[in-house]
Amino acid sequence: MGTYVLRRLLQMVPVIIGSTFLIFVMVFAIGDPAAGRCGDRPCPPAYIAQFRAEYNLDEPLVVQYGLYMLKVLQGDLGTAFNGQVVATELLNRWPTTVKVALIAVVFETLIGIAAGILAALRRGRFLDYLVTVSSLVVISIPVFVVGGLAQLVLGIRFGLFPVTSTGGSWGELVLPGLVLGAFSVAYIARLMRGTLIENLRADYVRTARAKGLTPRRTIGVHALRNSLIPVITFIGYDIGALMGGAVVTERIFNINGIGGYLFYGINTKDGSIVVGTITCLVLVYLLANLLVDVLYGVLDPRISHD
């Protein structure tokens, strides 16, 4: 197991280099990175010269990237145009995004799994149709529509939740968390329902019944344990995906998290913010993937990591 994790960590290095290089090229090498920096007027030559010097834009591309990564390794993600240090800003915003993602994960795990189990056990009856149809509806609607609707209905019409965030307290982040987890809760419900129905037909469940076990134990121990493997795997991947998904949600709810910062960086064409933020997101995503693969080996004894 130890060597497996080490090998996976080493495999991350080329992935990180590749992804950051692509982002770097897209942000700094395609087009004129200084264009539009000064509104409608052209920028003063002195400003452009300073800008190009800071990012070594007159060097060959590989050198530019190398020098940038050297700074990243030292914890220096550069300085945004408004003078903020990107690394500090990310550190300040990170807890907010994690809070939103945490709310989303708890929401999708509890509600998604419960709804999936109920639908599987009441297959073909009202509750099943309720879960399958409503989850399909949620999956089909884009997140910005779900977010807007949630603000309008739950926030303004019923006044249950605040619709924007100022300080990033838990209370303000509940509604964004639910919106962020909405897609996954629907997906997990369907996944859970499908795998449980499949496993309820499995031979080993028949064996469990033949052993004279109660339905509660047959389903709750034998069928459920197997059905949870793909679901838990999905939740693991989703932790990584939720960080990226936060861009839209944080924008809708005006949350000062990583996603909101990335959105701000893209809007202001601030290369330091965009590259720095995405590098962090890539790292989180890769670590979440590693966690899932390790977890998979723990949950399913047939998978070995030797």
Question: Which stretches of the chain bind another protein, using CB under 8 A?
Answer: 201-204, 206-214, 217, 222, 225-226, 229, 299-302
Task: Report the distance separating Cα 34 and Cα 81, nearest Å.
Answer: 11
Closest approach of Cβ 109 to another protein, in Å? 20
Q: Name the residue among 195, 184, 189 with its Cα closest to residue 105.
A: 184
Closest approach of Cβ 300 to another protein, in Å? 6
Cβ proximity to another protein: between 123 and 269 the closer is 123
Whether 107 contacts 174, CB under 8 Å: no
- End-to-end Cα, the chain, rounded Å: 6
Closest approach of Cβ 218 to another protein, in Å? 10
Largest Cα span, the chain: 84
Strands (E), 61-197: none
Task: Report the distance separating Cα 32 and Cα 151, nearest Å.
Answer: 38
What is the H or E stretch that residue 24 is in?
helix 2-24
Closest approach of Cβ 215 to another protein, in Å? 8
Closest approach of Cβ 216 to another protein, in Å? 11
Cβ proximity to another protein: between 16 and 229 the closer is 229
Cβ proximity to another protein: between 8 and 217 the closer is 217
Closest approach of Cβ 304 to another protein, in Å? 10
Cβ proximity to another protein: between 157 and 201 the closer is 201
Task: Report the distance separating Cα 118 and Cα 202, nearest Å.
Answer: 18
Whether 190 contacts 137, CB under 8 Å: no
Q: Kindly calculate the radius of gyration of the chain based on its CA atoms and give it in whole angstroms.
A: 24
Cβ proximity to another protein: between 84 and 226 the closer is 226
DSSP state letter for 163: S
Closest approach of Cβ 67 to another protein, in Å? 51
Task: Report the distance separating Cα 237 and Cα 83, nearest Å.
Answer: 35
Cβ proximity to another protein: between 46 and 210 the closer is 210
Cβ proximity to another protein: between 127 and 266 the closer is 127
SS3 56: coil
